[in-house]
């Protein structure tokens, strides 16, 4: 393993974040990572593996049956979820529920925010008739995992970041850059590489603050950026600061958004937020 994949290139107080210090994943996810690299794997085989972890499976099914995916009937089995959503989406959902399971004190609203971004990204994708809105939803759900890693692995830095956000009215990204020299989306990219996430999810979470830099999947990154903006405007959960992130002009161009479909997106996302109020508490 080369230096760039083993470490984040910038350190905090001389302490490097190493792959071995990543949040521990349940064994079922480690096994799933291996299975998904087998081109002949079947939904039945993956489902048989996932049901071994009843807690994780039940949490995933709750998300799958939420208004985010809007299926007309109840999804009651892992195999059914895999057939409807595909391996990439289910894999991403399992990662997110595992990572967010034990959020540190003070970050409880980050899950609500992430769910809201997930919902918004999926609704934007549906409105614009993009394929596989579930993949957009998962990218939205995972877009802030780097913040969880900072809190978990670098608590002193996390405390300094929160102080800067509060005292200097900075965004989380600005405070992270000031304290660490990098922001949470750099950690997202590092995690995506370490966990071998599919490129469609990796780019969506790595470039959600600068979609034009996504070389292959700019749509996913742009949907997440706009979804993040709308979640904050509608005050859904908390991303750690009280400011709505800037939406770069290229995002609207990448998505093909005009005045008419922007109004439709705002209406539909607002309605969805009303539907899920209190659902994930």
Query: Which tens digits make up the pLDDT trace of 13-57?
Result: 444 455 445 555 567 777 777 776 677 888 888 888 887 777 778
Among the residue ranges 5-9, 98-102, 209-213, the one predicted with the least confidence is 5-9
Q: Locate tokens 């802030």: which residue?
A: 144
Residue 190 pLDDT? 84
Q: Is 12 part of a structural domain of the chain?
A: no
Q: How confident is the model at residue 175 (pLDDT cuts 50, 70, 90)?
A: very high
Residue 25 pLDDT? 58
Q: Is 14 part of a structural domain of the chain?
A: no
Residues sharing a CB contact under 8 Å with residue 194, sequence separation 6 or more, in sequence order: 5, 19, 22
Residues 87 and 183 occupy one common structural domain: no
Residues 31 and 46 occupy one common structural domain: yes
* Surface-to-core class of residue 215, CB atoms within 10 Å of its CB (0-12 exposed, 13-18 middle, 19+ buried): exposed
Q: Is 18 part of a structural domain of the chain?
A: no
Q: Supply the range of the domain harboring residue 191.
A: 106-281
Using the predicted structure, report yes or no on whether residue 80 has a pLDDT greater than 60: yes
- Say whether 215 sits in a helix, a strand or coil: coil
- Spatial CA neighbour of 18 closest among 218, 215, 187, 251: 187
Residues 165 and 177 occupy one common structural domain: yes
Give the domain-ending residue among 72, 102, 132. 102
Give the domain-ending residue among 59, 84, 102. 102
Find the Cα–Cα–Cα–Cα dihedral 84, 268, 228, 166, rounded to 10°: -130
Residue 85 pLDDT? 83
Residues 141 and 268 occupy one common structural domain: yes
Residues 147 and 213 occupy one common structural domain: yes
Residue 225 pLDDT? 96
Residue 14 pLDDT? 44
Mean pLDDT of 122-134: 93
Q: Is 33 part of a structural domain of the chain?
A: yes
Q: Is 149 part of a structural domain of the chain?
A: yes
Mean pLDDT of 223-242: 93
Residues 219 and 156 occupy one common structural domain: yes
Residues 278 and 175 occupy one common structural domain: yes
Mean pLDDT of 224-232: 95
Q: Is 136 part of a structural domain of the chain?
A: yes
Residues 54 and 160 occupy one common structural domain: no
Distances in Å between the alpha carbon of 196 and those of 153, 190, 247? 21, 10, 28
Q: Is 11 part of a structural domain of the chain?
A: no
Give the domain-ending residue among 102, 132, 161. 102
Residues 92 and 116 occupy one common structural domain: no
* Torsion 281-187-202-48 (CA) sign: negative
Residues 98 and 111 occupy one common structural domain: no
**What rounded mean pLDDT belongs to the chain?**
82
Using the predicted structure, report yes or no on whether residue 1 has a pLDDT greater than 50: no
Residues 185 and 79 occupy one common structural domain: no
What's CA 42's distance to the chain center, in Å?
Answer: 26
Q: Is 258 part of a structural domain of the chain?
A: yes
Model pLDDT for residues 248-273, shown as the tens digit of each residue: 889 999 999 998 999 999 999 999 88
Whether the CB-CB separation of 217 and 211 falls below 8 Å is answered with no
Residue 4 pLDDT? 41
* Residue 152 belongs to domain with CATH number: 1.10.3210.10
Find the Cα–Cα–Cα–Cα dihedral 186, 192, 194, 199, rounded to 10°: -130
Give the global pTM.
0.84
Q: How confident is the model at residue 82 (pLDDT cuts 50, 70, 90)?
A: confident
Using the predicted structure, report yes or no on whether residue 277 has a pLDDT greater than 70: no
Residues 176 and 62 occupy one common structural domain: no
Total domains present in the chain: 2
More confident residue, 263 or 277: 263
């Amino acid at each position: 393993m080369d230096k760039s994949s083993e470490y984040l290139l910038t350190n905090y107080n001389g302490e490097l974040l190493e792959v071995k210090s990543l949040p521990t994943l349940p064994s079922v996810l480690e096994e799933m990572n291996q299975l998904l690299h087998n081109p002949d794997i079947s939904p039945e085989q993956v489902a048989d593996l996932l049901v071994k972890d009843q807690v994780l499976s039940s949490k995933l099914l709750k998300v799958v049956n939420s208004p985010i995916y809007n299926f007309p009937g109840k999804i009651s089995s892992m195999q059914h979820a895999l057939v409807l959503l595909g391996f990439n989406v289910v894999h991403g959902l399992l990662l997110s529920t595992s990572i967010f399971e034990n959020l540190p004190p003070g970050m409880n609203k980050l899950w609500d925010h992430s769910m809201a971004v997930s919902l918004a990204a999926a609704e934007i994708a549906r409105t614009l008739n993009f394929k596989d809105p579930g993949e957009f939803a998962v990218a939205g759900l995972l877009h802030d995992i780097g913040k969880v890693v900072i809190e978990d692995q670098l608590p002193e830095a996390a405390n300094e970041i929160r102080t800067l956000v509060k005292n200097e009215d900075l965004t989380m990204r600005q405070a992270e850059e000031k304290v660490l020299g990098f922001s949470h989306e750099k950690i997202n990219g590092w995690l995506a590489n370490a966990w071998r996430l599919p490129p469609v999810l990796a780019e969506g979470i790595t470039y959600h603050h600068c979609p034009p830099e996504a070389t292959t999947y700019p749509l996913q990154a742009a949907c997440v950026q706009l979804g993040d903006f709308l979640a904050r405007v509608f005050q859904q959960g908390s991303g750690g600061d009280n400011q709505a992130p800037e939406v770069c002009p290229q995002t609207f161009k990448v998505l093909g958004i005009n005045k008419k479909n922007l109004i439709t997106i705002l209406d539909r996302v607002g309605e969805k937020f009303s539907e899920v109020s209190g659902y994930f508490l």
